[in-house]
Chain A
């Protein structure tokens, strides 16, 4: 590990952390446009986070230390995930510490901590949110793992940068298995990031909340960290999707400075398109009843398994 790779690694993480709210703002702005609203502007999440950081934290009287620790764990795990995901370039020295299975485990850890924090206060909505969050999680997590497995079988490696390098350098043939995996991944992305049709990030009705119900008790800096990590999670998932299914333009192999610099606008452009696509999906769909969510996720899981099977049958 030399100093250059270390710098690229750090730059990558810092760019992800800084740019994540921007993606969130872009998606919200696109949604507003698609719904004939003017929208608050793409910088709104930054203003939101800044405002929250300046407020006094209000904490429930019966909160335990675990409750106050969780926002930091959330934020740290999403930063860690950003260090593994090749959003700009694949030469990530940190990626050796955690492969795709560990990445799924990392997301699971973050989710478990969030659910525990939600149960900590002991209100009806908190524990209901925890239950629903875990319900979404236990179906989405294996689906995500199966998507990664399909990609791993193609590239004979579970390390995410290696997978992406194989997929990027491979001939432009389309892997039929990845088509299934791609659809499954999209469904997982929607569910895991609490987007429509599984959850509504803009909801103000506690009964229909999933993710929002788990963070109902947070305020000020804790909420700011949670919001930021939610944005970072969306950014991470989008980057995983782009890297697996549209890996063109990433700096792979031996990096030249030109490649590295070129990767930034390309990734930015891809994220803009992906963000618009996400807003489109959210505008075209309605949120489904919570009882339908398991069916939605079970089909994601089955699609991912089908992708695996297709790979094994066709060998590609």
Chain B
């Protein structure tokens, strides 16, 4: 294995390579062949390099470097510890799948020219990598803002449509609210000595009050990027607006980078962690998860549905962060390591499976030009590749064994089972209730995913044009296949990866699951008699059993099959429009969780000859939180507008008064 310094340099080259590839895109900006067949595959190679370097780096010692770049006072610092390596691995491997897919996906004549898109895309990738590498607040924020801006331009690829410009604006607004939070957080953490390197922040001794302020500013700032309720409003707007590979990148990678920020600030930069931070984070995470999954169940646009599902997963991840903080604050190192492992594992799972699903919606979109669930259906016949690979992602997000989503949920539930051991009389009783809520969320996620998959890919085509849909091209297949393989492998071989994650938890918490991971096939994080799960055996026995049953039935009975029309219950006129729609499938959820929604219904009277049924489901937060704030801002700006008289004498008067005031202040 290469020594860690050369790993560091290899890693540094990747963002540089991405930037160069992006700039090369401008050379022949109109050529889809140049951008799609040469530059995007090159970017994918860089991503793969990053992934494998990070895989090697996870076990290597921490390396740091000061770059001869930046301002005089603020040179750029780079530092790669296990946490950074882990997220670089996530960026590298996920972006590799998305990059290959994009190579076949982007076509001419869709908004931004391919060359410019290539630049934005690769700048976005490079900035995410730099965020993770940064070791001072200055570089971190520069990269963070580059990330926000490049993704803004990617979201508004179709900038000629007003609703897409609006979605981009909301995204940019929330991103900058978050950035203010992060800026203030760094301001608090420098602790009065005005040193903005992370090194100085680690050394700063904050009082609990200031530490709490820093933590909650970070939670606000990074939560805005991740989509923590109530800062989630940009997700369901921006994801449908963006091209599918961009949605995949934003949902699968960028949201996880925000989680990186929270982990970095909480466990690395702050020297103290208070248990009630964990409780607040856990509560917010639970609410976010429930909110996301319930809204996902009633969506009728496939990408909006996935956006809400991302909110749900982010909620689960924050739940894990909260649990880690609680265990860590109560000095239960093994359990903190368990919760952290579950959190990180869920990040990786979400990156793979959500990117996979977003990319498959992209293929569906290209094949059908349709995003509304009410007009899809039956695509498994026309698009078998996309359908079967999307099935893997669907089952993974639904958290079903033996795929990856189940592993992290299993770990998280195991961690919850230990909360009664906490030495705090109320918390230890309150927290197992969180497990109940998590179980509910996981079960609802299965409901949502059956809806997503069933309505798009199964059943009969709801529109006649769907019968001409084409399966995706070869490059797109490779991308989907890569991500689906990731979902399966992460599901079946969790132990080797968890062993690598031990380096992260050793660095952050000073504890690891090290001794518990002896057998590669048996996941027993605490002790085998306490809890064990072996996905490899599980999958193997399922496959063997299915094969045995198939062979057994073949061997002993005839295999005669007749094709016929489906059973119409005696009703002669069955049309595809009689299938359950997305609205219909979401109806029970809409009824059960009614207080979550702001609903407007228009029901026709029974005597209406041309009946129209309309239901609009909206978010309470828009009207209860954002609309009043927007109103307030408008009022303040109109007050400020009264000052602007437009006459030069008035402005001269202002300058004069300011001067007088300043003189009075100085004297």
Contacts and interface: CB of A to CB of B under 8 A. Distances in A.
A224 B568 CA distance: 21
A72 B549 contact: yes
A106 interface: yes
A225 to B, nearest CB: 7
B187 to A, nearest CB: 42
B450 A98 contact: no
Contacts of B429: 309, 312-313
A122 interface: yes
A47 to B, nearest CB: 16
A183 interface: no
Contacts of A312: 420, 428-429, 432
B400 A109 contact: yes
A10 interface: no
Contact of B574 (A79, A120, A124, A308): A124
A interface, over-half SS = helix
B641 to A, nearest CB: 52
Interface stretch (B137-145, B349-357, B533-541): B533-541
A60 B561 CA distance: 10
Interface string B560-588: 11111111110000101011100011011
B401 A116 contact: no
Interface string A111-138: 1100110011111111110111011011
Interface in B517-545: 522, 528-534, 537-538, 541-542, 545
B380 A64 contact: yes
B459 A119 contact: yes
A69 B343 CA distance: 34
A52 to B, nearest CB: 10
- Of the four ranges (under 10, 10 to 19, 20 to 34, 35 or more), the interface on chain B belongs to 35 or more
A62 interface: yes
B542 A134 contact: no
Interface in A284-316: 291, 294, 301, 304-305, 308-309, 312-313
Query: When A and B form their complex, which 4 residue pairs have the shortest distance between CB atoms, in order from nearest?
Result: A122-B459, A127-B580, A122-B460, A119-B454
Given A102-B401, A158-B531, 12 more contacts: A57-B561, A58-B562, A62-B566, A80-B545, A105-B401, A106-B401, A111-B446, A122-B377, A122-B460, A153-B420, A157-B529, A308-B436
B557 to A, nearest CB: 5
A162 interface: yes
A252 interface: no
Contacts of B580: 119, 124, 127-128, 130-131
B401 A96 contact: no
Nearest to A129: B580
Contacts of B533: 97-99, 101-102
A223 interface: no
B574 A123 contact: yes
Contacts of B420: 153, 312
A109 B405 CA distance: 12
A60 B564 contact: yes
A312 B84 CA distance: 39
Given A54-B557, A108-B400, A159-B529, A66 B459 contact: no
A218 B447 CA distance: 22
B569 A105 contact: no
Contacts of B458: 64, 66, 116, 119-120, 122
Nearest to B417: A152
Contacts of B223: none
B417 A112 contact: no
A102 B410 contact: yes
Interface string B578-618: 11100011011001100000000000000000000000000
Contacts of B574: 123-124
Contacts of A294: 588, 592
A59 B560 CA distance: 11
A26 interface: no
B550 interface: yes
A254 interface: no
16 contacts: A59-B561, A72-B549, A75-B549, A80-B545, A98-B538, A101-B533, A111-B446, A112-B398, A120-B458, A122-B566, A124-B578, A138-B446, A141-B443, A159-B530, A159-B532, A304-B436
Given A58-B564, A152-B417, A312-B429, A131 B584 contact: yes
B interface, over-half SS = helix
A312 B532 CA distance: 24
Contact of A221 (B453, B553, B566): B553
Contacts of B417: 149, 152-153, 158
B428 A135 contact: no
Nearest to A205: B569
B455 to A, nearest CB: 8
B578 A123 contact: yes
A273 B355 CA distance: 51
B522 A57 contact: no
Given A130-B450, A146-B439, A216-B567, A57 B562 contact: yes
A61 B562 CA distance: 9
A157 B567 contact: no
Interface in A36-88: 53-54, 56-62, 64, 66, 72-73, 75-77, 79-80, 83
A23 interface: no
A294 B587 CA distance: 13
B660 interface: no
A226 interface: no
Contacts of A135: 447, 588
Contact of B432 (A76, A149, A216): A149
Contacts of A221: 553, 557
Contacts of A130: 450, 454, 580
A196 interface: no
Contacts of A61: 563-566
A175 interface: no
A139 interface: yes
Interface in A138-186: 138-139, 141-142, 145-146, 149, 152-153, 156-159, 162
